[in-house]
Amino acid sequence: MTSFRDPGYFADSTWEAILNRDRYADGEFVYAALTTGIYCRPSCPARLPHRRNTVIFKTAGEAERQRYISCRRCHPSKGSLTPAEKGIKHALDYIEAHLDETVSLQTLSQASGLSPNHLQQTFKRIVGLSPKAFCDARRLAHFKLRLRRGESVTSACYAVGFGSSRALYDKTGKGLGMTPVVYQQGGDRLPIRYAMSDTTLGEVLLAATETGLCTIILAQTEKRLLRALRSEFPKAVLIRQKEPPREWSAALRMCQLEDPLLSTLPRTLRHCIFQAKVWKTLS
């Protein structure tokens, strides 16, 4: 067992994480209140104990062996999710299953079991984007996939729920880096500059035209990145840059930070969230 009953024993940074209700510290330790006999995760929204009445444990199991009781608000036991976290997972699953529809905040509220306001705030805090921004990014990705499969622009437009050509061009103006027709043609003779970088999620390739970002690809090897880029833009003039532009590097560093909940999601969905965050940051 590792516990620190002397409040001066545990680091100031640990106490700061508790004071700030830092979600990134969840899983690193739990803290218990001597006055209540309850232990919590660092991000727990409950009223904080005084530092002198706080005990730190490295794991929930250690706290329970000392007969502390798991908090019913933050569910600090290993693998447990709060109701809000479960709601966000339900919302993400709903979006992925309804990419051909316009998904409203009210619809997501019903799917998640969270009020619209609570969902909006919690989704943005955990995912890093508003529900609308994430839906827009996923719909654009789905639209591009349909174009690559040979569907007409009009058919793909309505299939992903844009509803009209005007809505399509409003949403894809910066997201494609080119017109939908040029994208469908494989970027015919269009100069596209690209660069690669390492992230915690794997190798990433960003590419852009003069208009804006046109693709974000994640893969485990450079060879796979290049193959995917050439597959998406078979007719484009691809120009490699030795180093990513400064704003690209800054966006990658910021967007690869993941809320603890996201690390429990399937890799494919984590990649989708990362791509959406980078796109929103750079668009």
Mean confidence (pLDDT) of the chain: 89
Say if residue 135's pLDDT is above 50: yes
Q: How many domains does the chain have?
A: 3
pLDDT at 66 over 70: yes
Residue 45 structural domain: 3-70
Please enumerate in sequence order all residues whose Cβ is within 8 A of that of 129, keeping only pairs 6 or more positions apart, or say none: 123, 137, 273, 276, 277, 280
Which of the residues are catalytic?
40, 44, 71, 74
Tell me, what's the pLDDT at 8?
45
Q: Do 145 and 117 sit in the same domain of this protein?
A: yes
pLDDT of residue 7: 47
Give the C-alpha distances (Å, rounded to integers) separating 22 from 30, 34, 98, 254. Answer: 12, 21, 32, 17
pLDDT per position as a tens digit, 90-114: 999 999 998 888 789 999 999 999 9
Given a cut of 60, whether residue 119 has pLDDT beyond it is yes
Query: By C-alpha distance, which of 186, 177, 224 is closest to 205?
Result: 224
For residues 272 and 182, membership in a common domain is answered with yes
Residue 174's pLDDT band (boundaries 50, 70, 90)? Answer: low
Same domain membership, residue 162 and residue 97: yes
Among all chains, which residue has been given the structure tokens 């640990």? 14
By the 8 A CB rule, do 272 and 129 touch?
Answer: no
Given this model, what pLDDT does residue 188 score? 94
pTM: 0.81
Q: Is the pLDDT of residue 163 over 90?
A: no
